[in-house]
Structures are given as C-alpha cells and as structure tokens.
Structure 1
Amino acid sequence: MSSQEQQQTGRTATMSDAMVEAIASEMRADEEVFYMGEDVADYGGIFDSTTGLLDEFGRDRVMDVPISETAYLGAAVGAAQAGMRPIAELMFVDFFGVAMDQIYNQMAKNTYMSGGSFSVPMVLTTAVGGTYNDAAQHSQTLYGTFAHLPGMKVVVPSTAYDAKGLMHNAIRDDDPVVYMFHKRLMGIGWMPAPDGPKTPVPEEEYTIPFGKADVKREGDDVTVVTLGLHVHRALEAAETLADEGIDAEVIDLRTLKPLDRETVVESVRKTGSLVVVDEDYQSYGVTGEIISSVAESDIEALEAVERVAVPDVPIPYSRPMENAVIPGAEDVAEAVRSVGE
C-alpha cells in the first residue's frame, strides 16, 4: 500500500498503539512469542511500547527484568535458539554498550557460527533519538552502528502504518531484527509527536517487507533520503520549498538492513540532486553509505549532493545546544536550496 493509499483507508492510530497491536496479534497467534524488558509489564513501557499487554497475556509472557541488559538479552538469545520468539526491549539504545557481547557476538553471529544449524528468531526493540533534552547517554540514534555489523536486520519506522507492518514482519522473521523506534514519534502524552506519524492503520494484520523504501512525497527537483523522525522534518521542509518553486521528493528508507538502494538511485536519476538527512552521527554512517551507493551505481546521474546529520559530538543536555546539533526542518531546506544553486 502506497503512502497516498494509506491516507484514504482505515482508522488512525499512534505509532505506539500500532506497535502494540502488532505484538498482541502475534502473541495470540503463537504462544512462543513473549516480551521482556525493564518496566514493560506494570508500567507498559516508558514509551508506551507494551501498554495493555500484561492485562491480556500475564506475567509469564510479559516480563519485567532486573536492570542487567547482559543477563536478559542473553536469556532472549538462548530462548530464540531453543525455538521461542522473544521480543526483548533495550530501554534506550544508548545502553547497548553493556550488552554488546550478547547483541553482536551472540545474537547476530550464532546462526553463522553454528553453520546454520539453528536460527535466532528474536526482535530487539529499542528507543532512539533526542529532541527532549536527556543528554548524551539517552539521546542517540546509532542506526549506523547496528547496520554496520553483519547478522542483524535493522528496522526504523516513521509512521504508525509502517510501525505495525514492520513489527509483524520482524516477529515472524527467522533472523534477529533490531527494531528502532524514535521516542518523539510514539505519540505519548509527555512528548508530543510532530504532525505525520499518526496515520490510518488497518485493523487486520499486514506485513511490510524489509528492504523496500517508501516514497513519502514525490518530486522532480531533488531527492531527500532520510528515516525516522527526520522523515517528518524533511516533509515539513518540502512544503516550505514548494512555496519557493522547489519540488522535493522525500524517500523514507524504513529499513537499513536490508537497504533499498535501487529506489534511491532511480529517484536521483530523475532529479539529479541528492540530500541525505540523518539524526545519527555524520562520519562513517548512513549519509555516507547512501551517497556512496548512488555514486557507485550511477555517478553521472549525481549532479549535486549534500548531507545533513549530527556533528561528531555527544548530544548536549542544553536545549539550545541540542537544537543546534540535531538537524531541523530549516537545515534540510537549506541543504536542498544549496544543491539547487
């Protein structure tokens, strides 16, 4: 279903509600699916990622865990290898460091290390992103870190419709999936979402295949490639630019592993200009990967390019400083204007 078709069908839902709906549906269909993490049972997840699941499924399948990411992520890996389908929540992606051995040396590699004798069908959900002044240890995205490491699929929804379809697909996948949701998009009361992530969502089950980007806005003058929160900031910029006579095409990657390079290249062949926008750090990240993919595929199509990302500094606590390092809609607009000069 295209973005245009989504707007014409179904009831609307927040991104958190859409995620929970998909999880509950999969838990009803398969008793081997369970959810574990910090504050996911009674509290319902600090970003509403598990609201209502405890009431329906009980503590045997919705489990609060001690504050030991190494222990419970290791338990999830073992459960997955034994044939279950755990969903394990890392409350903030910034906490990956204390459990990286379990994530990368176990979860991501064990299928390969076993010669394919067993799979690791688990989902690692985690909250990403800043914009709410929670400082350097609770505000990163780190998409590029996980996408760089082989063995894991990496999913980054930007709307409720995408969140539900991608979650269904993630839980059913026989490989480990890192499902990264942006706090600002969840639709929770104390952190208002921008216009856009609350979308029509069908009540029935549906999946969105990994590795298929979505053109959220069609245009002829410049290609803007992004993901997560910055899909909405790019769309906001595109509306401003339209008043100036600049027609921007906005592509939402939706997944980084696998990555839909073909949709990006085809768009650049049409527009000739590329702007890549990311809330991750600029160096060695998503922006560079997208630009190099286009250059390798069809460098003659690429007439102008800009990237907009977080500079290589820790995310500041101070609101003015955080606003300065995390790109806004005007930063995107300025980059688009620059490739059109």
Structure 2
Amino acid sequence: MEQPVLAEFDNQRPPSPQFPLALQKTALSLITNPSTSLPTLSSLLKTLTLHLQGPTHHHRGILSLLSALSDHHPNLRSEISLAVRAFALLPSTPTSSLAHSLSVLFKVADFSNDVADESVFLSLCFRPCKASLRRWLLRNVDKFRVRPSVSITVLLGFTKDPFPLTRKAALDGLVWLCKFIAVEDQSLVQCCYFRATELLFEADDSVRCSAVRAVSVWGQLLVESNRDKCKIDWSDTLFVQLCSLVRDMSMKVRIEAFDALAKVGIVSEDVLLQTLTKKATSATKEKIFLGQYTAKVYKLPASAVAFAIVHGLEDEFFERHIAGKVV
C-alpha cells in the first residue's frame, strides 16, 4: 500500500499547486498507521515540506499533517520544526498561514531547540503583515526565547501602534512580563509605568482596561523598588492615579480600577480619608503627584481621589458596587 501512495505523492510534488483533500486523507492514514515504515514517513515528510514551501493553497492542511506526524512519530520532530520554521520565515508565506505555522512550531519544537528564538520573533514582528498576526505575536511573546530587555523594548514600541487592539496586546504583554521577570532597572520600570498611564485616556475601552492592569502591576513594582518615604510617595501616586479612573464612562474600566485599587498595599491616611469626602481637605489640596491627570496634563492632584470609594459603592451597576465593597 505504501509504494502506490508515495508514487501518487510524487506526482503531486511542486511546482504543482494541487494537494487534493483525498490525498491529505491518505497521508493522514499513513501517519496514524503504526505499521508505516520509517523510510515511507521520511519520504512523506520531504514531500510535505516541498509542498509547504511551494505555491499551494493548502498550507493549513499540510501544517495539520505535519502536526499529526509529530504527534505520532516524535523522532521526526526536529526535522518538522526546522521545516515549519523555514516556512514561517519565507517572505512569500501568506499572513493567514503564519499564526497556524507558529502554533505548530511551538507544539513540535523541543524546548532545547532554538527554532523559536529572538531572531524569529523580531523578524516576524517587523515584517509587513496583518494587524491580527502582530497581535497574535505580542500575545504569545512568552513562547519565544526573547531577552526581557528586548521584549520590553518591542512591547513599548507597539503601545504606539495605530491599531487599538495591537496597543492592547502590547499592554497585556507588559503585564505578563512584569509578573514573570525580574526588572532591576528602576528607570525602565518608570518608563513602562508612565507609558501605561498615557494610555489610560485612550478612546478604546479595551485599551483603557489593559492600561489599568499595566499601571497596577508596574506601579506595584515601582513601589517595591523604593524605600521608606519614596515608597509611600509612589504608593500614593499609584493609588491616586487609579482613583482617577473610578468615574470612567466604561463600566469595565471602572471595575478594573477598583480591582487594582484593592491591590495597593499602603496609602497615606490623608489620601485615604479624601476618598470619603467630596470637598478637598487641607492636607490634600496642595499635594501634587507625578502622573497622568488628563491626556495632556502630567500633574496628578491628590484631590482627584475625592469621594472615589463612596462613588463606587453608590454605582448603579451591580458589578462595580461589589468592586467598591472589595476596596
């Protein structure tokens, strides 16, 4: 059975763009059959690789076959991962097939193999492609072997992307990085924090939600990296900055703001008391923090927290009412 099938595959080799569904089913039967010989599987892998790099319109089907081949025959994973990596880096590879190829690559690649290294990530991030693929890359930055400093630089750059969902993906990537890497450079932490505060006033609700989460995690890291008086000042700054979002027009943003406020460890007594009254107290009236008060103003008055917690408890939306109780 193997030889006639292989002969049929040979007839369909590139430059022929044809890869019929019936042939794909036959290939799958060979892959899943435990009696198929290794030479036959190797020949099949070679044919699939040629088709993958050729002018076919069946990339997704071929990638699925390669994934199945990896599942049933782990000894071929190294060759499969190299073939898929080469396909992903081809300039002619359709952007519609790139995300699928990378998913297969992450699945089949050995963790000791550098097929998903930093050069692959950077090459794919900065190639002309659809915004959806770039978002996919940013959301999966953790799957690439990229140095933290490079990851942060790339993600910060894409927070200025013209597409809102790409900016959101970049912010989500910064949140992930902050949780799983150690950043000792305080100036870099401040850079990430203040960039996130700039996006608190985005027009898109989803970007603002991600910005709140980024401000929260990078702000907490900023607090932890300081000592004594500076620690309290930065904690107050973070608290006041988050309070500026409790009156946001979006319910989701308000809930994110209250969830983030609940995570602030220490707050000055005068700032906390100000959240319970509408009138600015004498202790907070003249107090100014570094931060983003509006899209253009970088001074953050302590009076911005006025009535914040009470405002949350009186909110007409049940979810935010609960968030206010948490605080």
* TM surpasses 0.5: no
More relative contact order in 1 or in 2 (CA 8 Å, sep 6+)?
A: 1
- Greater per-residue helix proportion: 2
Larger radius of gyration: 2
TM-score computed with the length of structure 2 as normaliser? 0.31
TM-score computed with the length of structure 1 as normaliser? 0.30
- Greater per-residue strand proportion: 1
